Chain A
Amino acid sequence: MLGYVVRRLLMAVPVMGVVALVVFSLLYLTPGDPAQVLAGDTATPEQIAKIRTSLGLDEPPYLRFGRWLWHMVHGDLGASIFSGESVTHMIGQRLQPTFSLLLLSVVISIAVGVPFGVAAAARRGGVLDHALTTFTTLGFSLPAFIAGYGLAFLFATTLKWLPVQGFVPLSDGLEPWLRNLILPAVTLSLVYAAIIGRVTRASMLEVLSEDYIRTARAKGVTPWRILFRHALKNAAVPVMTIIGIGIATLIGSAVITENVFAIPGIGRLTVDAILHRDYPIIQGVVLLLSAAYVLVNVAVDLCYTLLDPRIRY
Chain B
Amino acid sequence: MKRRTFLQGTSLAAGILPFLGRTTLAQKSAAKTLKIIHNGNLASLDPIWTTAPPTKDYGFLVFDQLLAVDSKYVPHPQMAEGWTLEDDNRTFVLTLREGLKFHDNEPVRPADCVASIQRWGARDGFGQLTMKFIDGFETVDDRKFKIKLKKPFPLLPAALGKSNSSQCFIMPERMAKVDPMKQVTETIGSGPFRFLNEEFVSGAKAAWAKFDGYVPRKEPVDSIAGGRIPAVDRIEWSFISDPSTAMAALVAGEQDYWDAPTLDLVPVMKADPNIVVSPRNPTGSYYMLQLNHTQAPFNDPKVRQALAMAIDQENFLKAAVSDPSLIKPCYSYYGVDSPYFSEEGADVLKTRSIDKAKAALKEAGYGGEKVVILGVMENPTLAAMAQIVEDTMRRMGLNVELVAMDFATMAQRRTSKGPSDKGGWSCFVTVWTGSDIVNPAVHQMLRAGGATAWFGWPNDPEMENLRGKWIEAPTEAEQKADAAALQVQAFKTLPYIPLGSLVALVAYRKNLTGVFPCPVAAYWNISKS
Contacts and interface: CB of A to CB of B under 8 A. Distances in A.
Given A31-B413, A80-B202, A163 B254 contact: yes
Interface string B175-214: 0000001110100000000000000011111000000000
A262 B242 contact: yes
Interface in A24-55: 31-34, 36-42, 44-45, 47-48, 50-51, 54
Interface in B307-355: none
The 7 closest A-B pairs by CB, nearest first: A264-B204, A32-B408, A36-B411, A82-B43, A262-B240, A164-B248, A31-B409
A123 B523 CA distance: 62
Contact of B181 (A37, A47, A80): A47
A157 B408 contact: no
Interface string B42-57: 0111000011100000
A83 interface: yes
Contacts of B241: 259, 262, 268
Given A165-B240, A262-B238, A84 B411 contact: no
Given A32-B412, A83-B43, A261-B245, 20 more contacts: A31-B408, A32-B406, A33-B408, A36-B408, A41-B444, A54-B181, A80-B43, A82-B43, A149-B245, A152-B245, A157-B248, A164-B248, A164-B254, A165-B240, A165-B245, A165-B254, A260-B242, A262-B245, A262-B249, A264-B205
B10 interface: no
B258 interface: no
A277 B407 CA distance: 10
A269 B43 CA distance: 12
23 contacts: A31-B405, A32-B406, A32-B408, A36-B411, A39-B50, A40-B50, A40-B51, A41-B51, A42-B51, A42-B454, A80-B202, A82-B43, A93-B204, A152-B245, A156-B252, A157-B248, A165-B240, A165-B254, A166-B238, A260-B244, A261-B245, A268-B241, A275-B408
Interface residues of B, number: 46
A275 B249 CA distance: 26
**Which DSSP category, helix, strand, loop or mixed, fits chain A's interface?**
helix
B181 A32 contact: no
A50 B123 CA distance: 13
A33 B245 contact: no
Given A259-B242, A269-B203, A54 B182 contact: yes
A272 interface: yes
A213 interface: no
Contacts of B204: 93-94, 264, 268
B465 interface: no
Contact of B44 (A33, A83, A264): A83
A51 B123 CA distance: 13
Nearest to B124: A42
A267 B411 CA distance: 24
Contacts of A34: 408
A160 interface: yes
A264 B201 contact: yes
A277 B405 CA distance: 14
B118 to A, nearest CB: 16
Interface residues of A, number: 48
A37 B242 contact: no
A233 interface: no
A94 B407 CA distance: 24
A31 B408 CA distance: 8
Interface of A: 31-34, 36-42, 44-45, 47-48, 50-51, 54, 80, 82-85, 90, 93-94, 145, 149, 152-153, 156-157, 160, 163-166, 259-262, 264, 268-269, 272, 275-277
Interface string B391-419: 00000000000000111110111010000
A269 B202 CA distance: 9
Interface in B117-171: 123-125, 166
B297 to A, nearest CB: 24
Nearest to B52: A40
A261 B245 CA distance: 7
Interface string B21-61: 00000000000000000000101110000111000000000
Nearest to A39: B50
Nearest to B414: A36
Nearest to B451: A45
A37 B407 contact: yes
Contact of B415 (A45, A269, A275): A45
B339 to A, nearest CB: 23
Counting chain A CB atoms within 10 Å of each CB, the highest count among B183, B202, B244, B405 belongs to B202
A157 B251 contact: yes
Given A93-B201, A163-B254, A33 B411 contact: yes
Contacts of A50: 181
A164 B249 contact: yes
**Which of B45, B185, B203, B249 has most A Cβ within 10 Å?**
B203
A38 B50 contact: yes
Nearest to A263: B204
Contacts of B430: 41
Contacts of A164: 245, 248-249, 252, 254
Contacts of A85: 202
B378 interface: yes
Contact of A90 (B202, B242, B415, B452): B202
Given A38-B50, A163-B252, A260 B245 contact: yes
A152 B248 contact: yes
A48 B41 CA distance: 21
B491 interface: no
